[in-house]
Structure 1
Amino acid sequence: MTGIALAQVAGGRESPTGMLDAARRMAEEAAAAGASLICFPEQFVTGWSPCIHPGSGEPLNGQLTAAFGRIAREAGIAVVGSIIEAGPGDLPKNTAVVLGPDGRLLAAYAKMHLFSPDGEDRNYTAGDRIATFIVDGVTFGLAVCYDLRFPELFRIYALAGVECMLIPAAWPCSRLSHWETLLPARALDNRYYVAGVNTAGGPGEVYCGGSLAADPDGTIIARGGGREEVLVAGIDPAVVHEARLKLPSLSDRRSDLYHRLLSKL
């Protein structure tokens, strides 16, 4: 059994230095509770915004990633953080980064589905690759916020051997019922664990937490309230494999048929 921590924090409520200090305290709390990994919400250091100045961002190995690495080393725990990564042109990427307990970069995932209703697609560059990594014997995958609405991505991760998906998010109160429905649904669809960590509070008070983790049967095993807190959930790869043996929906897929049907559209 591997413990993972969901750090439900109010994004951008303080200066970046203040937010990183809060992250350090939460990482220490998670490590003391026996967790091997802690995941923070989407862009929690500055607060998520769909609007950003052209040319903004920092390299993948920039100052913020290095700060997450220091937090990981000091707490002895893997850290999933979030940066605005400088893109190949003027538009940056909304990127989740994973630092191992030794502070080294394990994985990076650029948000693939950008939130067009608020114009994120006009101000950021979309990612085009999945990202997996292993901590304490568990294979994890990454998605970010709006990605949750696209089941194709989650199925690809299942076929890639992922046992637990981590989803940093800034999901608003007005659509929290969607969040609470989609997270367990993705777990049940793909017969793996899904853990989403949401912003709680912050500028405008439009976020109200509700972070949760669901097991391969879609059963909720941890749920946060509306305030800042650290949730810890247990992840057992054996449960994933047992669930897939009992209900082999992944192996019963008709990928040959799906491709033919798509070609006729």
Structure 2
Amino acid sequence: MSTLKVSLLQMDCRIADPEYNFLTARSYLEMAAHDKTDLAVLPELWASSYALDRVEEFADPLVDEPTPDNAFGRFAALARDMNLTVAGSLLERADDGIYNTMVVYDREGRLLSSYRKVHLVPMLQEEEFLAAGDALSTVTLDGHEAGLAICYDLRFPELFQIYTRRGCRMQVMSAQWPDLRQSHWQALVRSRAIENQTYMVACNGVGEFDNIRFCGHSAVVDPWGEVLVDAGTAPGVYTVECDLGSVDGIRQAVPVLATRRPEVYARAEEQAAAEVPAAATV
């Protein structure tokens, strides 16, 4: 299928209140199911919001199917109950730490893919509470590859470039991006779509915690950089169709990927590394 219908669930997630947030998610997923969406995307850490000082309380082991008493299992159950493929990030408890992990569950509640946030936010001292992921992840959606990313990852173009070289026609991202840097959010989401000639599906939250307000403006941007939907600052469900079958034609019309010069970039990287003063590497 070349067309994928996507719903952005722009939630006002209550801090440290998973039960309220699960009820909200269920309500929004019911709306997305009514829209007959193919993929419903939720914000970053949507179940607990940014309660970083309580991650031990809200983290659960990753599970690959519906189960009670586990945030991932309950998310999988929502996917099954609503007959939807869902994506969003939750706190994962692992043997070596707690991760901010994006998961994708299919219509039967089976785990399709998971991605641990690679780039932690230094401004929030996330490294004091969370472990950083060390691998990239893609997911197959109706025969099309999509890359997974979380919030601060948006600032690192290399991640999205790698996904594109792996054949991704879409990038799916959950976020809780602050109002203070709304202009960055909107510019970067469009930039990642344009430079990689992919669809960018970016679901952000609204509301606030600790005097930090999230900016909303969840968006779907096409490979030309056209904003197909911008959710503004209101909570709700925003649905749009993505014509993934058009991506190859766009890449042929403007053959950016075909005219890359990786050998030049590699030499320049080596030269730059050799020229860095010793003090700058500390």
TM-score, structure 2 length as denominator? 0.89
Tell me the SS of whatever aligns to 2:48. coil
Alpha-carbon separation, structure 2, partners of 1:54 and 1:45: 14
Aligned alpha-carbon RMSD (Å):
1.7
Corresponding letter in the other structure for 2:166 = A
Alpha-carbon separation, structure 1, partners of 2:16 and 2:238: 22
Equivalent pairs counted in the alignment come to 264
| Range that drifts further, 54-63 or 172-181 | 54-63
Question: Could you say if the C-alpha distance between residues 171 and 143 of structure 1 is closer, same or farther in structure 2, counting changes exceeding 3 Å?
Answer: same
Confirm or deny that 1:68 pairs with 2:70. no
| Range that drifts further, 59-68 or 3-12 | 59-68
8 Å Cα contact 2:59-2:98 kept in structure 1 = yes
**Unaligned stretches of 5+ in structure 2?**
274-282
Alpha-carbon separation, structure 1, partners of 2:215 and 2:188: 17
- Corresponding residue for residue 165 of structure 1: 171
**Unaligned stretches of 5+ in structure 1?**
none
Alpha-carbon separation, structure 1, partners of 2:57 and 2:32: 35
8 Å Cα contact 1:145-1:170 kept in structure 2 = yes
Structure 1 residue 257: Cα displacement? 1.7
Larger Rg: 2
Tell me the SS of whatever aligns to 2:7. strand
Tell me the SS of whatever aligns to 1:251. helix
- Corresponding residue for residue 197 of structure 1: 203
Alpha-carbon separation, structure 2, partners of 1:160 and 1:58: 30
Corresponding letter in the other structure for 1:80 = A
Alpha-carbon separation, structure 2, partners of 1:125 and 1:10: 25
Aligned pairs for 1:170-181 within 5 A? 170-181=176-187
8 Å Cα contact 1:55-1:92 kept in structure 2 = no
- Corresponding residue for residue 231 of structure 2: 224
Structure 1 residue 21: Cα displacement? 1.5
Tell me the SS of whatever aligns to 1:161. coil
Candidates 46, 60, 68, aligned match of 2:48:
46
Structure 1 residue 60: Cα displacement? 0.9
Tell me the SS of whatever aligns to 2:259. coil
Tell me the SS of whatever aligns to 2:72. helix
Tell me the SS of whatever aligns to 2:89. strand
- Corresponding residue for residue 243 of structure 2: 236
Question: Could you say if the C-alpha distance between residues 75 and 54 of structure 1 is closer, same or farther in structure 2, counting changes exceeding 3 Å?
Answer: closer
TM-score, structure 1 length as denominator? 0.94
Corresponding letter in the other structure for 1:104 = R
Tell me the SS of whatever aligns to 1:182. helix
Alpha-carbon separation, structure 2, partners of 1:50 and 1:153: 25
8 Å Cα contact 1:79-1:100 kept in structure 2 = yes
Alpha-carbon separation, structure 2, partners of 1:103 and 1:79: 9
Alpha-carbon separation, structure 2, partners of 1:35 and 1:95: 23
Corresponding letter in the other structure for 2:108 = D
Structure 1 residue 227: Cα displacement? 1.6
Structure 1 residue 181: Cα displacement? 0.4
8 Å Cα contact 1:208-1:227 kept in structure 2 = no
Question: Could you say if the C-alpha distance between residues 87 and 116 of structure 1 is closer, same or farther in structure 2, counting changes exceeding 3 Å?
Answer: farther
Corresponding letter in the other structure for 1:130 = L
- Corresponding residue for residue 35 of structure 1: 37
Alpha-carbon separation, structure 2, partners of 1:54 and 1:16: 14
Identity level (%): 33
- Corresponding residue for residue 260 of structure 2: 253
8 Å Cα contact 1:47-1:202 kept in structure 2 = no
8 Å Cα contact 1:50-1:119 kept in structure 2 = no
Confirm or deny that 1:19 pairs with 2:26. no
Deviations 1:194-236 (A, max 9, x none): 0111111143461131111100011101000212111112111
Alpha-carbon separation, structure 2, partners of 1:53 and 1:82: 13
Confirm or deny that 1:116 pairs with 2:122. yes
